[in-house]
């Protein structure tokens, strides 16, 4: 049985301020005992994935969604959500494998005093499992789920995966404590939040590179999330949303830290644009009988005839 239960750790040593541990998620079996012939599925590199088992069914439970909403609202040092087991672990393992298949010469490499990481540059060239994952997190129903949890309406995904996509940190890599960008570099949309899922099986916490959430005022880490396969984190963007893994990780040679990320946005001009919206205009629309009755009721016949002639012209 493959379990969705993954550890999300809280650090407790000075100067780290410990926070309450995430409640243990129930063990979930993503692998059905039998495969009825009428179940839609895909096979990727010899491993079967049923379409109805890409995600945990709890994501459709209103009570669970309400609990996630409560946890996000009460989270410190800024609104965020740390969860485990949302996605089929077989799917995530397949996504992890596909880091080795992409053209790394096209990746964006960041190597400076603040950051040593690399990220996929474009949405194309992704493997089949990666396409499935990003198809899920950019889908309408998943965005509605995130909207229900956060209370943010009119969220938009970015299918181009700019700044998102595949993220990888090599041994010795780091990402200093930072707050994310505020606008999409091409579309000018407001950055509202980022959703990250980690892909590292049997990650040793001694290697470092846990995601740290910091209180900017006290300049201390309040919570950490281990980058273990199946752990996901939703970070709501705002003036206090400082995060990162500032210390160089000490993983052995060949052991990289892998994750997948998507950003969600909204349109700052949406309300104004909705007010100016024009609905469909039909070229061959029939005149409304009710309008003709109103015209005949309130206008004298001579004026009605004049209006008919004018419209006819």
d(CA 177, CA 214): 8
The mean pLDDT value for 109-138 works out to 93
d(CA 152, CA 175): 28
d(CA 50, CA 92): 14
In the chain, % of residues over pLDDT 90: 70
Q: According to the model, what pLDDT value does residue 290 have? A: 62
Kindly state the tokens that stand for 183.
Answer: 């606008």
Least confident range from 24-38, 41-55, 243-257: namely 24-38
Question: Could you give the residue range(s) of every CATH 2.60.120.620 domain in the chain?
Answer: 41-270
Checking DSSP bridges between strand 47-50 and strand 41-44, what pairing results, if any?
antiparallel
The CA-atom distances, in angstroms, between 261 and each of 77, 117, 130 are: 21, 14, 11
Say if residue 8 is exposed, middle or buried (CB neighbours under 10 Å; 0-12, 13-18, 19+). Answer: buried
Torsion of the alpha carbons at 239, 181, 79 and 243, rounded to the nearest 10: -90
Query: Which residues touch 208 (CB under 8 Å, ≥6 apart)?
Result: 245, 247, 248, 249, 250, 251
Kindly state the tokens that stand for 6.
Answer: 């993954």
d(CA 191, CA 97): 29
The mean pLDDT value for 110-126 works out to 90
- 37 — pLDDT class (breaks 50, 70, 90): low
Residue among 177, 201, 197, 200 nearest 257 (CA): 200
d(CA 94, CA 230): 12
Q: According to the model, what pLDDT value does residue 283 have? A: 87
CATH architecture of the domain with residue range 41-270: Sandwich (2.60)
163-69-185 Cα angle (round to 5):
20
């Amino acid at each position: 049985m493959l379990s969705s239960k993954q550890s999300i750790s809280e650090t407790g040593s000075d100067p780290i301020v410990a926070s309450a541990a995430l409640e243990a998620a129930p063990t979930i079996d993503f692998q059905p005992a039998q495969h009825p012939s009428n179940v839609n599925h895909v096979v990727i590199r010899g491993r079967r994935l049923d379409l109805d088992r890409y995600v945990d069914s709890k994501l459709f439970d209103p009570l669970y969604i309400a609990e996630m909403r409560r946890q996000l609202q009460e989270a410190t040092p800024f609104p965020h959500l740390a969860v485990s087991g949302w996605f089929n672990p077989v799917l995530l393992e397949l996504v992890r494998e596909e880091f080795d298949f992409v053209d790394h010469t096209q990746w964006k490499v960041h190597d400076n005093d603040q950051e040593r990481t690399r990220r996929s540059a474009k949405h194309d060239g992704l493997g089949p499992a990666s396409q499935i994952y990003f198809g899920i997190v950019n889908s309408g129903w998943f965005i509605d789920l995130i909207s229900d949890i956060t209370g943010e309406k009119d969220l938009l995904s970015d299918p181009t995966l700019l700044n998102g996509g595949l993220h990888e940190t090599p041994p010795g890599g780091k990402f200093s404590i930072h707050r994310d960008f505020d606008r999409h570099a091409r579309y000018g949309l407001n950055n509202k939040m980022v959703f990250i899922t980690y892909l590292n099986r049997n990650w040793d916490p001694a290697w470092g590179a846990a995601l740290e959430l910091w209180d900017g005022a006290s300049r201390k880490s309040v919570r950490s999330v281990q980058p273990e396969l199946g752990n996901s984190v939703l970070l709501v963007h705002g003036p206090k949303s400082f995060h990162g893994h500032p210390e160089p990780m000490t993983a052995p040679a060949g052991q990289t830290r892998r994750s997948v990320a998507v950003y969600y946005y909204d349109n700052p001009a949406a309300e104004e644009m909705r007010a100016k919206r024009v609905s469909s205009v039909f070229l061959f629309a029939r005149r409304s009988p009710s309008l003709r009755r109103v015209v005949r009721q309130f206008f004298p016949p001579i004026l009605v005839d004049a209006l008919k002639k004018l419209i006819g012209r």
